[in-house]
Structure 1
């Protein structure tokens, strides 16, 4: 969810954009993204996220195979015992989390505001990724806290058999739109808040 979540939340960004403009925000407008001129750029970044996800899976498998070989564990209990009670298991935990952290940082840095930007202004995939990277470099602490908040909320939403994501995803989608406005277009955000 953390790797492909920004792509999955496109409809939520569209609803937030429509709400901001005072337009109808019925749920079916989430599908209006299909008619956006930014669809090709959105698809490029979506493919990038899928490629990162597959690379992360390959990396995780490589770490496991490097430590435990290519034989699958005999049982779930044996696997849990090996991971929690052996030095190889603790190495797996540390290396796996370190690798996951690197992938999470890459995704955050390249997409934190990319999708909302593309829906708002069709600027192209490369420009959207560069804008996200600049936003992260200009606000490293705030973006790190945002990434941590997203991770924590996704974990909490996943605990009750993923049912909590029905609440967490819309909240994060709407919040991401506001983050985009605050970071990329603060003047526009101020204008929209002021009554005309």
Structure 2
């Protein structure tokens, strides 16, 4: 039943996967493996990853036309808070490649048949709530320094932002608060979605496992968060077009990071039949053909 899949998984008991200790070298190796997954058939991911920059451009257009220029940066940076949820399809592609199954792009949509979908949806709603909360905080911070009136133009707003004390104070406080939001997302979801895709442990166990993964590997995980932040910033510079490469690489790398950090006992997941390990007709996900 969905309620058990949300709280404690299909077994109706709370699971606590073991956490391995990893090093900084493991983080970079996960990034390398993610790039390998992307490089295998990069054309398959354009369909998925263009959604991210397109939505970003729409958000920028909306804020500009809606006289909300002060929210452009919070929207662009805060949209990354939804990244762990947006990468679910990429985790599935990496999972399938790992098991020598067909990795055609349409298999990214197979996740809709996963028994853990209710748990994924719950965590997705949590991320959406954090995204909205970040925007509200950003708007309140702007109002505190500049008042309720929106900026008259981008040029005047940027000029004031970088040449006045209140502008720099807004930049510093905004980034510090944004860092706290990003840290919450990192701690609660760094391995949550790959774990749910791999094992139906429930939303609570997935979040708890992510927190233990960060607490058990603080330096590597903080490095991973920094890599994600810098990569998203670089990908956003050329009118967000670079995200069509950055997002899939990070998505695939997240799957491999999960594999390095979380140790799943054999009894916690159902192995694929040997026939499906060798052959896959590419039409249906394995859990519908069991």
TM-score by length of 2: 0.63
Q: Name the counterpart of 2:196.
A: 118
Range with bigger deviation, 86-95 or 73-82: 73-82
Distance 1:94 1:54, change over 3 A: same
Higher relative contact order (CA closer than 8 Å, sequence separation 6+): 2
Q: Name the counterpart of 2:213.
A: 135
Match of 2:136 among 26, 33, 58: 58
Structure 2 gap segments, 5+ residues each: 1-78, 267-290
Within 5 Å, give how 1:6-155 maps onto structure 2: 6-155=84-233
Q: Distance in 1 between matches of 2:248 and 2:265?
A: 25
Q: SS at 2:206's partner residue?
A: helix
Q: Distance in 1 between matches of 2:94 and 2:265?
A: 18
Match of 2:244 among 135, 153, 166: 166
Q: SS at 1:2's partner residue?
A: helix
Q: Distance in 1 between matches of 2:83 and 2:98?
A: 22
Structure 1 gap segments, 5+ residues each: 189-196
Q: Distance in 2 between matches of 1:160 and 1:105?
A: 26
Range with bigger deviation, 75-84 or 55-64: 75-84
Q: SS at 2:80's partner residue?
A: coil
Quote the RMSD (CA, aligned, Å): 1.3
Q: SS at 1:23's partner residue?
A: coil
Distance 1:2 1:88, change over 3 A: same
Distance 1:186 1:46, change over 3 A: closer
Alpha-carbon offset, residue 92 of structure 1: 0.4
Q: Distance in 2 between matches of 1:26 and 1:73?
A: 46
Q: Say which structure is richer in helix.
A: 1
Alpha-carbon offset, residue 186 of structure 1: 8.0
Q: Distance in 2 between matches of 1:178 and 1:8?
A: 16
Q: Distance in 1 between matches of 2:209 and 2:264?
A: 14
Q: Deviations over 1:11-54 (max 9, x none)?
A: 00001111111111111000000000010000000000000000
Q: Name the counterpart of 1:193.
A: none
Q: Name the counterpart of 1:183.
A: 261
Higher radius of gyration, 1 or 2: 2
Q: Name the counterpart of 2:57.
A: none
